[in-house]
Copies of this chain bind each other. A is one copy, B any other.
């Protein structure tokens, strides 16, 4: 057997982040002030983000240097391995070659620390003492707690109540790294109290938790807010994944025909795909990139492209994106990290321009793929990652049907060690899923009075 893992040395950790804004044929539309519907400038973000990150948010420079201190902390787990899925290929009896980039090697178990470390660094540089954030499945909250621990800062996390109750170990991880965790909606914020007044049993959502975290950050001295996906600077930081993968594919003497990644707000998808899309832009290659989203939260495949809020209460600027409406509360599927109503601005524009693709899956199909992967490759994937695996299985089967060997590169964005109750539900046959109707989506979108595009 040839090498299973393609490893890089620490000196091969990228020195710059790749900013796809520089290469996009159509730049994203500007964010709008919801009071005036006029474009907003960087200053409008200053109350909640440090200037170092705001500059990255609006930058069109192609390359942005990674600070040495960030690269030094990346060394705890980076470069992450690229692994050939020989066992999974054999089980699928496919002529396709399947590689996966494994981001679960980080101490938090996912790709999220790639941006958490960077964000903590820029906040620390500007004297921030505490970072407030939200978390869905807990991946982001634990990543930011870890990052704050590394920079000796405080971290406060509003965790979607559904996950808070179902994933106690995620909360414990945040505590080990010194983070403080609240179930959201909470009584600690006006936003939370408003939601609880309407529905005392609200399971929460990422949109609600974002509202709470922003409110809390704004009202806390020396504190800033942080988001783990969606925004341009977050996607930017994640491009270390794809840059490493590109180098690793070259070392393997191969190049992907298809890139597949799970999709929540866009960060792990962008992280893997953007450095390859760069080749499409620069060299006219035709590498396909497919974002895999849950059928119960299908903003890319069934949402609309229009301006919408990033949060539920309406505290953020209006962003041009694929959305199901900021009041949409997704069904309580186990891939909690994908339960978000909107898609990142850059990714939305790329989809609009047909430069990337999207596909949705029911969770039963996702867990079937995940269990097969665990039994053949060993690693138990995070429920979010199972979404991408469902697409991998479809593409691998298509290769078999057509008798064509394509090369598939997949982002195994995290392990499922902290999500085992989801697998319990799968084995006990409790993964039925509510079929989302067109009427339900239309009803959520009908509430929107934000500008259309």
A380: B residues at CB distance < 8 A: 107, 173, 176
Contacts of A177 in B (CB 8 A): 374-375
User: Which residue of the partner chain B has the closest CB to A106?
Assistant: B378
Contact flag A72-B371 (CB < 8 Å), given A169-B169, A172-B424, A378-B146: no
A-B contact pairs, 20 of them (CB 8 A): A3-B10, A3-B75, A7-B7, A76-B377, A76-B378, A76-B379, A106-B378, A107-B377, A146-B378, A149-B374, A149-B375, A149-B376, A150-B378, A168-B421, A169-B418, A173-B417, A175-B424, A176-B374, A176-B375, A176-B423
* A169-B418, A169-B421, A176-B374 known, 5 other contacts, Cβ within 8 Å: A7-B9, A149-B375, A176-B380, A176-B423, A178-B375
Q: Known contacts A420-B169, A421-B172: does B378 contact A107 (CB below 8 Å)?
A: yes
Asked if A262 lies at the interface with its beta carbon under 8 angstroms from chain B, I say: no
- Nearest CB of B to A335, in Å: 16
A72's partner among B4, B76, B176 (CB-CB below 8 A) is: B4
CB-based contact A5/B75 at 8 Å: yes
User: Quick one: which of A1-32 are within 8 Å of B by CB?
Assistant: 1, 3-5, 7, 9-10
Q: Which of B149, B168, B377 contacts A420 (CB 8 A)?
A: B168
Residues of the B chain whose Cβ atoms lie less than 8 Å from the Cβ of A377:
76, 107
Establish whether residues A427 and B175, one from each chain, have CB atoms under 8 Å apart when the complex forms: yes
Please determine whether A379 and B107 come into contact, CB atoms closer than 8 angstroms.
Answer: yes
How far, in whole Å, are A106 and B178 apart by their CA atoms in the complex? 26
Q: Which of B168, B172, B175, B420 contacts A172 (CB 8 A)?
A: B420
Closest-CB distance, A441 to chain B (whole angstroms): 33
- Chain B hits for A3, CB < 8 A: 9-10, 75
Interface 0/1 of A76-109, CB less than 8 Å to B: 1100000100010000000000000000011101
CB distance from A115 to the nearest CB of B (A): 15
For A75, give its contact among B4, B105, B150, B423 (CB under 8 Å): B4
For residue A87, give the distance in angstroms from its CB to the closest CB of chain B.
Answer: 8
Q: Given the complex of chains A and B, what is the CA–CA distance between A409 and B430 in angstroms?
A: 46
Residues of B within 8 A of A87 (CB): 150
Q: How far is the CB of A369 from chain B (nearest CB, A)?
A: 13
**Complex Cα gap A75–B75 (Å):** 21
Q: What are the interface flags for A105-117 relative to B under an 8 Å C-beta threshold, 1 for contact and 0 otherwise?
A: 1110100000000
Q: In the complex, are the beta carbons of B378 and A417 less than 8 A apart?
A: no
Task: List residues 345-391 of chain A with CB under 8 A from any CB of chain B.
Answer: 371, 374-380
CB distance from A135 to the nearest CB of B (A): 15
Assembly CA distance A107 to B81 (angstroms): 14
Which residues of chain B are near A176, meaning CB under 8 Å? 371, 374-375, 380, 420, 423
CB-CB nearest in chain B for A69: B1
Nearest-CB residue, chain B, relative to A7: B7
Chain B residues with Cβ under 8 A from A371's Cβ? 176
CA distance A248 to B172 in the complex (A): 33
A7 to B7, CA, bound (A): 9
Chain B residues with CB below 8 A from A76, complex form:
4, 83, 377-379
Residues on B with C-beta less than 8 A from A72 are 1, 4
